[in-house]
Each structure stands twice: as structure tokens, then as C-alpha cells.
Amino acid sequence: MTGRLLAALLILAPSMALAAQPRTGTAAFGDWRADRPGVQRLIRPGDLPAPYATDSVATQPDVVARPKNRLPRVPAGFVAELVAQGLKIPRVLRTAPNGDIFLAESGAGQIRVLHSGGGDPAIFASGLNRPYGIAFYPPGPDPQFVYVAETNKVVRFPYSPGDQKAGGKAEIIVDGLPNGGPHWTRDIAFSADGKKLFISVGSASNAGERMGEKSQTAIADWEGRHGLGAAWGPEAGRAAVLTADPHGGGLRTFAAGIRNCSGLAIEPSSGALWCATNERDGLGDNLPPDYATSVREGGFYGWPWFYIGANPDPRHDGARAELKDRVTVPDVLIQPHSAPLGMTFYEGEAFPVDYRGDGFVALHGSWNRGKPTGYKVVRLLMKDGKPTGAYEDFMTGFVLSDKTLWGRPVGVTTGKDGALYVSEDANGTIWRVRKAN
């Protein structure tokens, strides 16, 4: 191939060129200065540094107002448009079957609705305790309820498609969820057949520092009742995905050892449950990776004793060594300390065909790193419904310098128009990313 022809192909198909050359090894790590739409990364378990290869640093850029005319950066051929602002900690976004977009305005304790026809977001329900997850039941075109996960319970509201206000008072479905501590978000999703309600509950600590140890007999008894790797003490019922029937009955652990699954999604072709997960801090700039992964029933993902497979957390001094070979390795490893939150799978038709079925994950951004990372939306590259392990920068430009930023992405959803909608809670805005006309 001649150099002239290769140059022409790179101009006509930059995403193809990037797809062939994801950053791997140490090059897959880095900070915000390397971010731009189209850059791909592939982090493998063998790429991880040793614990404490760098100091653990607590630092985070200051939030400033969005500079005048500043827009997020998106791939060529796309445009980003501001659709709502002035919101108080906007977080999860979910699209109702009729096209209305529901928003958990967590800081205001309410659920809002962005009507598919436009206009200011309406208040669907208020007086909630840090609402986060939203789901529609039953699955399909005509849901009768909107489920909302508060930090200590799951409730549901009567709903008819098009409602801008709840059709009745909240009914408690699951009460008494573990709460308190640093991880207050509770996401929810229904299985494709509507028979299972999934509830994510993050840990009450960074690395299980207050759990203590049990005797082997006590461990065996506990795990017999709560599942392999289920945490105890102040972490009981946490660092896990729980499941119940749609009416809240039969609550139990679905999968354990997942430090903070802040985003749940159902992969449409397989029906598999996926988690976007915040891993632990304190082991250095590039350890351990955050991740997005399919979650199997009965699976154990390592927290707090192991990370990314059989890697022991040195702070637990060899505890639970018998679990070493039973840890499930996540599907997609993400730059450590990126703080993945919301996720979705693209089922629209407005984006190019190669986006169909790919995942999108909002990265809220780091605090435990020398140079900032995260603060962007990335695309999980899938093939035939299976993850390739690589991800690609899709929406960047929220960081202004090592010391300042104006946006922290949280929620992602596909609108009925095929655009991607993104919430960010630093300046309280919602954005639409669509194909340029």
C-alpha cells in the first residue's frame, strides 16, 4: 500500500485506524491530557503494576462554571447540545418506552421527566431520599409502574405512558436496604423477562477495613446463606448486587465482591446483567482498574480480599486465600480511579451501524490520583454481543486543567430519537449528542 493511499484511508476512516491500534500496556494508562474522541484503550490483567508502585494521592480539580461557548468534544460527524441546566445533582437517566426521559435529581430528592416533545423537565415525584436508580415495570411498551431506588429502599409509583406526574403515592417494594457510609447510590434494573429486580448496593468502606475476620466454620455458614464471598459485619448485604421478585419478595444476593456497582444495564442481545463498578483506592495511581462487566449469578468479583482476579489486596495480609482461584475477572478494565457511574447499551438507529449494541459508560472522574482521569463518556466496543475488552473515548473536554473542571458525567441513556443523553452533576446540566445533519 502506498503512503499516499494509506494517508487517504486515515483521513476517510479515522475510527477504523484507531480501532486497529488501541493503546495497550502502560500506554493504556494516563490522564485527561491524552483524552480525545476516538482514542481507544485495552487494559489487560497482566498490565497491572504492583501495589504502591506510586504514592496514593488525594487531589481533585476544582469545579468552575462552564466557560462561555465551551462544549464537550464528540467525534467528527456528531454534535453536542445543551438541553437542560440549573439542576441539583442530576444523576441517572432512563428512557421510558414512549420516549420521555426520566432523571434522578438526587440533590433535590426528586424524579424529573424530560418530555419527548421538549420543554422544561417536569417533577414526577419529590420528597425522596437521594433517589438514583429508575426502572419501568413490566418491561415492554406499556409499563404500569416507575420503580425508584432511594438510598435505603426501593419504591414504585403508578404510571401510564406520558404521565408527567406520578399517578399515586409511593409504594415500598424493598425496605431497609443497607445505607450509610460513602457509597449511597442504589441502581436498579429488571431482567428482560421482568421476573427479577436487580438492586446494586455499594460497600460501606474502601477495602473492608472494619469487617474483621471470622472462623472458617462461621465463614462457611455465612456463605452458605448469603453466597460466595458475601461480606459480613458492617458490610453485610453490601458490595453486591441483590435480587428480588418485582414485588420485593425473596430478596437475596445475586453476586458478591463488587465494591460499588454504580450502574446497572441489561445487554440486549444476551439479556445479561452488566455493572459499571468503582474499584478501591489507596494502592497507587494505576491500581486497581475500575471496570464494566457482565455479572453472573453466584459470581464473586474479589472485593475486599482480591482485585481483577487472583491479585491479593496487601491490606488484608493473605486473608481468604481459598478464594484466590474463584474470583471472576471483569470483562472491560477501565483506567483506575475513573469512577464509572451510569451505563447503557446503544439500541438506536441514528448513529452509524457499528455503534449498534455497543455500551456507553459515564466516568465521573478521579480523586485518588496525581493527575486527573475520567471525566468523560466512553464507548465499550462489543462484537456480536460480546465485549472485546477495549473501550473508546466518546465525549471528552470537561477538564480544563490539572486544577479545574466544569463537568462530571453521570447518567447515559439513548433517546427515542437515537441520540445519546448525558447528565453531569458538576454544573447540573444535561446534554444531547446526535449525528450532525
Tell me the per-residue pLDDT of 90-100, one tens digit each, with 9 for 90 and over: 999 999 999 99
C-alpha cell at 291: 471496570
Contact call for residues 105 and 88 (beta carbons, < 8 A): yes
C-alpha cell at 293: 462487566
Total count of domains within the chain: 1
pLDDT in tens, the chain (437 residues): 334 433 333 333 444 433 458 999 999 999 999 999 999 999 999 999 999 999 999 999 999 999 999 999 999 999 999 999 999 999 999 999 999 999 999 999 999 999 877 778 999 999 999 999 999 999 999 999 999 999 999 999 999 999 999 999 999 999 999 999 999 999 999 999 999 999 999 999 999 999 988 999 999 999 999 999 999 999 999 999 999 999 999 999 999 999 999 999 999 999 999 999 999 999 999 999 999 999 999 999 999 999 999 999 999 999 999 999 999 999 999 999 999 999 999 999 999 999 999 999 999 999 999 999 999 999 999 999 999 999 999 999 999 999 999 999 999 999 999 999 999 999 999 999 999 98
Considering only the C-alpha atoms of the chain, give the largest distance between any 2 of them, rounded to a whole number of Å: 70
**What is the β-pairing status of strands 404-405 and 62-63?**
parallel
Contact call for residues 277 and 260 (beta carbons, < 8 A): yes
CATH number at residue 161: 2.120.10.30
Write down the pLDDT at residue 20: 53
Contact call for residues 233 and 267 (beta carbons, < 8 A): no
Q: How far apart are alpha carbons 33 and 15 in whole angstroms? A: 19
Tell me the per-residue pLDDT of 161-210, one tens digit each, with 9 for 90 and over: 999 999 999 999 999 999 999 999 999 999 999 999 999 999 999 999 99
Query: What is the pTM (predicted TM-score) of this model?
Result: 0.95
Contact call for residues 175 and 225 (beta carbons, < 8 A): no
Q: How far apart are alpha carbons 400 and 39 in whole angstroms? A: 19
Q: Which domain holds residue 9?
A: 3-21+30-435
What do you get for the CA distance between the two ends of the chain, in Å? 34
